[in-house]
Amino acid sequence: MASLKGRDYIETQDLSGEEIELLLNKTTELKAAYHRGEPTLELPNQTAFLLFFDKSTRTRNAFEAGMTQLGGHAHFLDADVTQISHGETPADTAKILGSMGHGVCVRHDLVLGEGNRYMRDLAAATDVPIINMQCDVDHPTQTLADLQTMRERFGENLAGLKIAVSWAYAPSYAKPLSVPQGLITLMTRFGMHVSLAHPPEYSLIDRTVEAARANAAESGGSFEIVDDMDAAFADADIIYPKSWGAYDLMLARQDATTQAEIDENQRTCLDVNDKYKDWICDDRRMKLAKDSAIYMHCLPADRGAEVTDSVIDGPQSVVFQEAENRLHTAKAIMACTMRERPFA
């Protein structure tokens, strides 16, 4: 029988199919109990440290509320006001937090080449689970909730369904690549037909694309990359359009050493975005998909840019069901990985 007790959860690609099923089954169990009003005190008196290098609404509240519902306590830590901002190493941070609690959950997603490595450095230095709340490579708690939502709508067997994962225009900020990367690497494991659409500047990290191709070959699904949003939407069962930053510019952010350089990089990213304002999910594009298709988004969506109000608020949208599932998947991940640690 699969067990994740004491294990890290940094990428879904690290987990076996049986382990993913364990998390989904636990999500279903905890969600049902929540709606029945039954307590689920599976982690009494345990502590999870929530370390954020970026802003959050759904993720922070899912983990804070989720830990409370499991009987434990979550500490919110802003990296900017910890000793991390003065140069404390990942190893030192991990050893300290690991000695004081039962799990460390981290969001570190804005700079390619940093967040995932930081989490793996933490994991190497402590024996408590490190849980990825979003990095530069993957957003596993989001895509697990997405998978849960798809199964609630279409049933457990998703093989043969088509999902369109498409870039969409956003004027707000250059968003991380981790959601589309997490989607293509997870959904291809379930025999789905994954169509990734983006303009030429918005490619993804090579290893995630390679993993998606390998996963599709193994599961009997398919994976394609197209440069046409309409082509991706055609005959799709699931529509998932969202913005992310231009790859080369996101990579260049690693070299930014001052706030002025970071701000300039952000402006340049948004200037590139402006070339593709027509990449929007609207009623016309939704009609290219199947009549039974659902619209999904990790939120927050840039209304009027990524998606029209008529779509996100329309009958095919499942974004708020999807958002609620963030709570239950966060609980499932913590319940399945965290464990009582012996103290000498």
Provide the pLDDT confidence category of residue 340 given band limits of 50, 70 and 90.
Answer: low
Mean pLDDT of 274-292: 98
84 with 210, same domain: the answer is: no
161 with 226, same domain: the answer is: yes
The total of structural domains in the chain comes to 2
226 with 82, same domain: the answer is: no
What is the predicted pLDDT for the residue at 255?
A: 82
Mean pLDDT of 228-255: 95
Whether the CB-CB separation of 253 and 276 falls below 8 Å is answered with no
Residue 1: pLDDT over 90: no
Show the beta-strand stretches assigned E in the chain.
Answer: 47-52, 73-78, 103-108, 130-135, 162-167, 193-197, 222-226, 238-242, 294-295
Within 10 angstroms of residue 270's Cβ, the number of other Cβ atoms is 17
Distances in Å between the Cα of 246 and the Cα atoms of 106, 114, 123, 171, 282 are 24, 17, 29, 13, 22
Task: Express each pLDDT in 113-135 by its tens digit.
Answer: 999 999 999 999 999 999 999 99
In the numeric block, the tokens 């919110």 are attached to 76
C-alpha 222 chain-centroid distance: 21
126 with 148, same domain: the answer is: no
262 with 301, same domain: the answer is: yes
Exposure class string for 151-170: b at 16+ Cβ within 10 A, else e:
bebeeeebeebbbbbbbbbb
132 with 153, same domain: the answer is: no
Residue 341: pLDDT over 60: no
Q: Is residue 331 part of a domain?
A: yes
289 with 250, same domain: the answer is: yes
147 with 288, same domain: the answer is: yes
What is the predicted pLDDT for the residue at 222?
A: 98
292 with 145, same domain: the answer is: yes
Whether the CB-CB separation of 328 and 35 falls below 8 Å is answered with no
Mean of pLDDT over the chain: 96
Range of the domain at 178: 140-323
CATH number at residue 110: 3.40.50.1370
296 with 272, same domain: the answer is: yes
Mean pLDDT of 159-184: 97
117 with 176, same domain: the answer is: no
What is the predicted pLDDT for the residue at 266?
A: 86
Q: CB neighbours of 319 closer than 8 A, spacing ≥ 6?
A: 295, 296, 297, 299, 301, 312
Residue 344: pLDDT over 80: no
In the numeric block, the tokens 């939407």 are attached to 233
267 with 330, same domain: the answer is: no
Task: Express each pLDDT in 24-67 by its tens digit.
Answer: 999 999 999 999 999 999 999 999 999 999 999 999 999 999 99
